[in-house]
Amino acid sequence: MRSLMAFFFVITAFWSQSAFSQEIQIGLSNDTVAISSSFDGTDLIVFGTIEGADAQRLIDRAYEVAVVLIGPLEPVVVRRKERRFGVWVNGKSMRFENIPASYSVATSKALDEIADQKETSVLQIGLQNLQMAPLVEDADSVDARTFRESLKRIKTDKALFVEKIGGVEFISPSLFKARVPLPASVPIGEHRARAFLFSEGKMVSAKSVSFQVRKIGFEQFTYDLAHSNGLLYGIIAVLVAIATGWLANVIFQKD
């Protein structure tokens, strides 16, 4: 019986390796991240399995995983403060198109141990591989580079860009779990979770799943109304203020 099992293992392993059929599958702890009034950031948990993989290679831990969460793409203007007449004012600015509003990456090992630079660069895994070119003629100038680095630094300081080495944890040889933080200021909209499976420094499988970050209940109602019908929103804001002022007048009236 035992030998039969082993035989089967070898056969499947041989078959899978020869057919390059090892595949990564992922599932998210939640399809929707809800921002309510008490929202103060959360962790998104990405579960995944490696299917159809060589059993021996699984046992040898020959697979590495990187999980990337990418927020909605948006244009960003980066401004630099300059001293003019003794006052620090916004001077030169550069506009960047298609910058992910948030970008988090969790990996099972340091990026350079998972794959070679060329591979991670093409796949845009890791902050240093995130492609962000400003809309200027010479996108490779020293200035453009400074602005790009500042954009990354500020996003990182605000916890919108996160790199978490060791954030992917193997529960069993073929089952992994990644815990990726989403900050309190996580942008609303459609986000994507991408998982990459690496073997011997090469990407062998990838999966992408989308999830929504949205405000719920009162927050959603307020935000939507403010942006879809600002006039009505303003009128409501004024009515709330009048009601508060009137209540104060009634409660605290002395005579």
* Token pair listed for 63: 């697979």
Does 241 help bind other proteins (rule: CB under 8 A)? yes
Does 73 help bind other proteins (rule: CB under 8 A)? no
Closest by alpha carbon to 179, among 127, 106, 111?
Answer: 106
Nearer to other proteins (CB atom), residue 35 or residue 180? 35
Does 185 help bind other proteins (rule: CB under 8 A)? yes
Does 74 help bind other proteins (rule: CB under 8 A)? yes
Does 245 help bind other proteins (rule: CB under 8 A)? yes
CB atoms within 10 A of CB 111: 21
- Choose which of 108, 130, 144, 147 interacts with other proteins (CB under 8 A): 147
Give the whole-angstrom CA distance, residue 160 versus residue 158.
5
* Contact partners, residue 70, CB within 8 Å, separation at least 6: 100, 102, 103, 191, 192, 194
* Token pair listed for 33: 């991240």
Nearer to other proteins (CB atom), residue 18 or residue 38? 38
E strands, 118-238, are 161-165, 168-172, 175-182, 189-199, 202-215
Total of residues contacting other proteins (CB under 8 A): 58
Q: What is the helix (H) or strand (E) element at residue 241, kind and residue range? A: helix 230-252
Give the whole-angstrom CA distance, residue 243 versus residue 29.
42
- Choose which of 30, 45, 95, 113 interacts with other proteins (CB under 8 A): 95
SS3 191: strand
- Choose which of 30, 32, 36, 210 interacts with other proteins (CB under 8 A): 36
- Choose which of 61, 79, 145, 202 interacts with other proteins (CB under 8 A): 79
- Choose which of 61, 145, 153, 202 interacts with other proteins (CB under 8 A): 153
Does 234 help bind other proteins (rule: CB under 8 A)? yes
Does 170 help bind other proteins (rule: CB under 8 A)? no
Give the whole-angstrom CA distance, residue 204 versus residue 198.
6
- Choose which of 6, 11, 73, 77 interacts with other proteins (CB under 8 A): 77
* Contact partners, residue 167, CB within 8 Å, separation at least 6: 67, 105, 106, 107, 178, 179, 180
Task: Considering only the stretches 16-24, 114-122, 173-181, 222-230, report the one whose residues sit in contact with other proteins under the rule CB under 8 A.
Answer: 222-230
Nearer to other proteins (CB atom), residue 5 or residue 255? 255
Provide the binding-site residues for other proteins, judged by CB under 8 A: 35-41, 74-81, 83, 86-90, 93, 95, 147, 150-151, 153-155, 157, 184-185, 215, 218-219, 222-223, 226-227, 230-231, 233-238, 240-242, 244-249, 252-253
